[in-house]
Amino acid sequence: MKKRSVKLVIVGSLALDSVETPFERKKDQLGGSVSYACAAASFFARTGMVAVAGQDFPSAYTDLYKRFGIDMTGLTLVKGRTFRWSGVYEANMIDRRTLSTELNVFASFSPELPDSYRGASFVLLGNIAPALQLHVLEQVKKPKFVVADTMDLWINTAKKSLMEVITKVNMLMLNDSEIRLLTGEYNLRRCAARILDWGPEYVVVKKGEHGALLFSKKGVFIVPAYPVDEVCDPTGAGDSFAGGFMGALAGSSRISENTVRESLLRGSVVASFTVEDFSLKSLAKVSRSDIKKRIAELKKMTSTA
């Protein structure tokens, strides 16, 4: 049977996370950048996941993906154990320490796109090795808007292929410490100017609880973070932001500075729901109207009127 084609393809890590906060401890929760990003995007556009899991991956989690309406044609189940990560958050719920990383089946991940994904216009290259990001991009026929995320590991160990990724994407999204490491600049405006020179039209600098900054030739957009009453677990906030953004952009009628800004607000709001519970628990309960309501609130919070 021919699969319904997807509008947005997201590749990234799929993991079972064991997370410890000052208040709770959870074992083998559904996690990984691709889980958060796909769930977040699914509110706005038909999203296809490219990921690998082991035989031990609980069917409850694939059921959950289904409930989000995520296309799983690109999810490969292989012999072995699923990637596992465990970490502990400090009292401020921001700083975290990794306790262990078991790559398992993720170590030999080679992302292959099903045919139904190759016509996608939107591609989110989640945080995986730059060589794999390039491999995914090569399989998409005519991408209209590509975003890449990255991390310090690749900046330190695979800079050459990362630079190749950067020249091929429309937007680079990374956090403040990563962009400083990548560019050797400290001031964020200067960091972003450097990257805009390398090719991307847009640079998004994620600042966690303080929101994000969008830089483009058209100037700066200050992306506010929705202030939540209680952060339960910040894991996946950045990936939800990226996924929510790309889903919203893929669901927009056109790509412009205006729709990019509007989509970033949507990403920010989806991320604010993510941190209110562990794993995808909060997102699983959220409706599109909950999201709309928070977007309206967030707009009021940044308006003087």
Q: How far is the CB of 297 from its own copies (least distance, A)?
A: 8
Stretch that binds its own copies, among 23-31, 97-105, 220-228, 284-292 (CB under 8 A): 220-228
Please select the residue that binds its own copies; options are 228, 276, 281, 290, rule is CB under 8 A. Answer: 228
Stretch that binds its own copies, among 44-52, 73-81, 112-120, 254-262 (CB under 8 A): 254-262
Stretch that binds its own copies, among 43-51, 233-241, 261-269, 282-290 (CB under 8 A): 261-269
Rule CB under 8 A: say whether 237 interacts with its own copies. Answer: no
CA-wise closest residue to 8 among 143, 141, 128, 133: 143
Q: How far is the CB of 24 from its own copies (least distance, A)?
A: 15
One character per residue 72-111, x = contact with its own copies (rule: CB under 8 A):
-------------------xxx------------------
Q: How far is the CB of 274 from its own copies (least distance, A)?
A: 16
CA-wise closest residue to 45 among 93, 9, 17: 9
Please select the residue that binds its own copies; options are 65, 109, 117, 221, rule is CB under 8 A. Answer: 221
CA-wise closest residue to 215 among 163, 147, 261, 182: 261
CB of 121 or CB of 252, closer to its own copies: 252
Q: How far is the CB of 222 from its own copies (least distance, A)?
A: 5
Q: SS in 3 state form for 247-302?
A: HHHHCCCCCCHHHHHHHHHHHHHHHHHHCCCCCCHHHHHCCHHHHHHHHHHHHHHC
Rule CB under 8 A: say whether 217 interacts with its own copies. Answer: no
Please select the residue that binds its own copies; options are 181, 261, 276, 290, rule is CB under 8 A. Answer: 261
Please select the residue that binds its own copies; options are 227, 285, 292, 296, rule is CB under 8 A. Answer: 227
Please select the residue that binds its own copies; options are 60, 98, 253, 305, rule is CB under 8 A. Answer: 305
Contact footprint for its own copies (CB under 8 A) = 91-93, 186-190, 207, 210-211, 213, 219-222, 224, 227-231, 258, 261-262, 265, 297, 299-305
